[in-house]
Amino acid sequence: MPDTNIMTMIDEAAAFIRGRIESAPEIAVILGSGLGPLAKEIEGACVIPYGEIPHFKASTVAGHAGELIAGTIGGRRLLVMNGRFHFYEGHPMEIVTLPVRVFARLGIKDLIVTNAAGGIKDSLKPGTLMLISDHLSFMCPSPLNGPNLDEFGPRFKDMTDIYTPALRELAHAAADRLGIALDDGVYCYFRGPQYETPAEIRAVKLLGADAAGMSTVPEAITARHCGMRILGISLITNKAAGLGASQLSHEEVGETARQSEQNFVKLVRNIINDWN
Ligand code: HPA
């Protein structure tokens, strides 16, 4: 992927989307594995399959729909990615994070990123929700590698409080009001697509990881580079490798996501209602 092209690609995708939606969205939402049901909550939905958007890739992962949806929840104008691009699908990081650059180009200043993750911290049982307080990106090739895109942000970007404290407070307030348990935790990125080994999970636990997953971090780093506010929510679908009784499978992840999606949808809907 020639770096010189990336700005053109971002602008082509942004121009296409701008031409298809009625009004400028305020908040972007990226939905992870099995979290698509939030899309049903969107009012006045305008659905654009990724295949129609220049430089967007068709999703290759079960549980990822592959469509961009513009519409509102609680009067907030949203642009929702129902399915995301992963590094393990073979996309370069520039493509994995291209949608976030496009969001920034469309004037969006706030991003909600969601994912399914394996729980490492004891309290993070399958079916529970975790509010991402910080992340470990050691295994993540930096999406900011290569020539800096000065249009978006500086070469050396600070990552302190990457998950915006004010939005985390808002999320906790919504969870308390709804009686939904919402644990804070550190999300650790793994490249996948293989699940982690028990030794890898033990190692990152020592380093402060509370949950493990294969997404979110590239998008969060890129959004931060663009100066966006970020809220991250993980649905814990399984105990991480070596911590549960059974072996891990994408089917188990999908099944737990299906059983627990109601709380996730309720929480995110309320967070968006309260957004400020
Ligand atoms: N590891 C990595 N990614 C995941 C997991 C996991 O245990 N569960 C859901 N996505």
Take residue 102 and report the two structure tokens written for it. Answer: 């496009």
Take residue 87 and report the two structure tokens written for it. Answer: 């590094």
Nearest to 53 by CA among 87, 26, 83: 83
250, 252, 255, 261: the active-site residue: 250
Contacts of 195 (CB under 8 A, 6+ apart): 118, 241, 248
Tell me how far the alpha carbon of residue 192 lies from the centroid of ligand 1, in angstroms: 9
**Which tens digits make up the pLDDT trace of 218-266?**
999 999 999 999 999 999 999 999 999 888 888 888 888 888 889 999 9
Report the 3 state secondary structure along 158-211: CCCCCCCHHHHHHHHHHHHHHCCCEEEEEEEECCCCCCCCHHHHHHHHHCCCCE
Asked if residues 29 and 38 have their Cβ atoms less than 8 Å apart, the reply is yes
How many Å apart are CA 165 and CA 257, to the nearest integer?
Answer: 26
Low-confidence stretches of the chain (pLDDT beneath 50): 1-3
Stated pTM of the model? 0.95
Nearest to 220 by CA among 150, 145, 138, 164: 164
For residue 250, indicate whether it is catalytic.
Answer: yes
Tell me how far the alpha carbon of residue 93 lies from the centroid of ligand 1, in angstroms: 20
Tell me how far the alpha carbon of residue 190 lies from the centroid of ligand 1, in angstroms: 9
pLDDT value at residue 64: 66
Which residue type sits at 13?
Answer: A
* CA 236 to chain CA centroid, nearest Å: 14
For residue 88, indicate whether it is catalytic.
Answer: yes
Contacts of 217 (CB under 8 A, 6+ apart): 135, 137, 140, 187, 189
pLDDT value at residue 2: 44
The verdict on the CB of residue 118 being under 6 Å from ligand 1 is yes
The verdict on the CB of residue 39 being under 6 Å from ligand 1 is no
Tell me how far the alpha carbon of residue 266 lies from the centroid of ligand 1, in angstroms: 22
Contacts of 172 (CB under 8 A, 6+ apart): 131, 182
Backbone angles phi, psi at 118, to 5 degrees: -90, 135
To test ligand 1's pocket by mutation, which of 132, 239, 253, 256 has the most ligand atoms within 8 angstroms of CB?
A: 253
